[in-house]
């Protein structure tokens, strides 16, 4: 029996296996509204046999978008556009769909990556003024963010809750908060980007305050029988920055508040980061968090091999693995992994005839 293909309950959500599709920005929305690209992109990933599909970083306010092509969930138009995409995808797949809600803080207002990805200054086309815990730009020479005051913090916290209510109406199965990759919540956590002297800066307790307030607001806005999880960067990979010990304290505080799972990534806060990139490079971070909490932990980052993924789950380094680039490259990765281990995956009835003759138990059509 493959550990990778054993089911798991995450905060009341039953997952068929341990393979999660990580959130991936597509930079293809218009004014935050999903487009036909999202039907194609999410539609084909929804046929992949993974246990859970996570919608890309979706901003809770217009200025929280990384780029002007990001998806959002701040308006009725955003919600209607997402509903249309979800209706199409759900017509042909029963894969549970989660959404990552986020705010980019000082890393907002950028060009799309394939157009260079640079910051766009306020006043220029597709640019706006960014906000952050402290007025420190991500890169030297960039337009600095405005420091958020208490009213600004309350507005963003409420926007997270409002987006979570929209996610609930869209019958999304789970919400993941984006606390990683140097975006707003991570900017509060890290002493490198948070230099505040009020109750939201300084001590670890103070730096965790805003992200935990956002968690509480979202947890109470989203139905109690559906999970809310957090994605973290477990280290900034910079001396004197956010690190795994602080991540463990944060994960424990989240667990106490009813967080259903912790998704462990790393980096993205500071351009001085030195990341030891390689297969499973973030798994030791996931393992450290998993040893400290009782809730499921997801590992991510260059997990591309079937035996590699099986070993991560099987040895207890993490409860689930998330795939991003690997599943874009091979959207049938879970099919091939299931074939490799003699397990089965959901496949649409239209494709059942593609089952290779040597894998007669591979497809489960859900009947």
Ligand X SMILES: Cc1cc2nc3c(=O)[nH]c(=O)nc-3n(C[C@H](O)[C@H](O)[C@H](O)COP(=O)(O)O)c2cc1C
Q: Which residues in this chain contact ligand X in the complex, by CB under 6 A?
A: 22-25, 56-57, 100, 178, 180-181, 231, 265, 300-303, 323-326
Q: Tell me how far, at minimum, the Cβ of 283 lies from ligand X, in Å.
A: 11
Q: Tell me how far, at minimum, the Cβ of 212 lies from ligand X, in Å.
A: 19
By C-beta, is 130 or 282 nearer to ligand X?
282
DSSP state of 134: S
Catalytic residue among 27, 183, 200, 281: 183
The CA dihedral of 305, 181, 226, 215, to the nearest 10 degrees, is 150
End-to-end CA distance of the chain: 22
Phi, psi of 115 (to 5 degrees): -110, 20
The two tokens of residue 174 are 């789970």
By C-beta, is 284 or 326 nearer to ligand X?
326
d(CA 313, CA 320): 6
Q: Tell me how far, at minimum, the Cβ of 361 lies from ligand X, in Å.
A: 28
Cβ distance 56 to 25 under 8 Å?
yes
Cβ distance 216 to 160 under 8 Å?
no
By C-beta, is 190 or 344 nearer to ligand X?
190
By C-beta, is 289 or 362 nearer to ligand X?
289
Q: Which residues contact 291 (CB under 8 A, 6 or more apart)?
A: none
Residue 128 Cα distances to 92, 116, 145, 208, 269, angstroms? 39, 17, 10, 27, 20
Q: Which residues contact 230 (CB under 8 A, 6 or more apart)?
A: 176, 177, 179, 211, 215, 251, 254, 259, 261, 262, 263
d(CA 295, CA 331): 28
Beta bridge partners of 10: 13
Q: Which residue has the tokens 């960039």?
A: 142
10 Å CB burial of residue 142 (0-12, 13-18, 19+) is: middle
d(CA 142, CA 7): 46
The two tokens of residue 38 are 């999202």
The two tokens of residue 295 are 């809730």
Cβ distance 326 to 357 under 8 Å?
no
* 351 counts as catalytic: no
Among all residues, which ones are annotated catalytic? 183
């Amino acid at each position: 029996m493959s550990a990778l293909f054993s089911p798991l309950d995450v905060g009341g959500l039953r997952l068929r296996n341990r393979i999660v599709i990580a959130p991936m920005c597509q930079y293809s929305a218009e004014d935050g509204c999903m487009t036909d690209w999202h039907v194609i992109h999410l539609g084909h990933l929804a046929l992949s046999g993974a246990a859970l599909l996570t919608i890309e970083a979706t901003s809770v306010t217009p200025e929280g978008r990384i780029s002007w092509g990001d998806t959002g969930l701040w308006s009725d138009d955003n919600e209607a556009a997402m509903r249309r995409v979800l209706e199409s995808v759900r017509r042909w797949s029963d894969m549970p769909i989660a959404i990552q809600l986020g705010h980019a803080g000082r890393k907002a207002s950028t060009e799309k990556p394939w157009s260079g990805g640079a910051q766009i200054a306020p006043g220029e086309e597709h640019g706006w003024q960014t906000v952050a815990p402290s007025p420190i730009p991500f890169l030297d020479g960039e337009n600095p963010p405005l420091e958020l005051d208490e009213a600004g913090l309350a507005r963003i916290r409420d926007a997270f809750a409002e987006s979570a209510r929209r996610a609930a109406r869209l019958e999304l199965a789970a919400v993941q908060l984006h606390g990683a990759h140097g975006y707003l919540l991570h900017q509060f956590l890290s002493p490198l980007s948070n230099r505040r002297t009020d109750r939201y800066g300084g001590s670890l307790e103070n730096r965790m305050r805003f992200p935990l307030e956002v968690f509480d607001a979202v947890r109470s806005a989203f139905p109690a029988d559906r999970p809310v999880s957090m994605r973290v960067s477990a280290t900034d990979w910079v001396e004197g920055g956010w690190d795994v010990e602080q991540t463990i304290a944060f994960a424990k505080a989240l667990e106490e508040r009813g967080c259903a799972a912790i998704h462990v990534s790393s980096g993205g806060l500071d351009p001085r980061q030195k990341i030891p990139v390689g297969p499973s490079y973030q798994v030791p971070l996931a393992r450290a968090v998993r040893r400290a909490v009782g809730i499921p932990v997801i590992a991510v980052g260059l997990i591309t091999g079937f035996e590699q993924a099986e070993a991560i789950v099987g040895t207890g380094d993490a409860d689930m693995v998330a795939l991003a680039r690997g599943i874009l490259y091979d959207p049938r990765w879970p099919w091939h992994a299931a074939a490799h281990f003699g397990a089965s995956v959901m496949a649409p009835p239209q494709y059942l005839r593609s089952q290779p003759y040597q894998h007669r138990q591979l497809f489960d059509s859900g009947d």
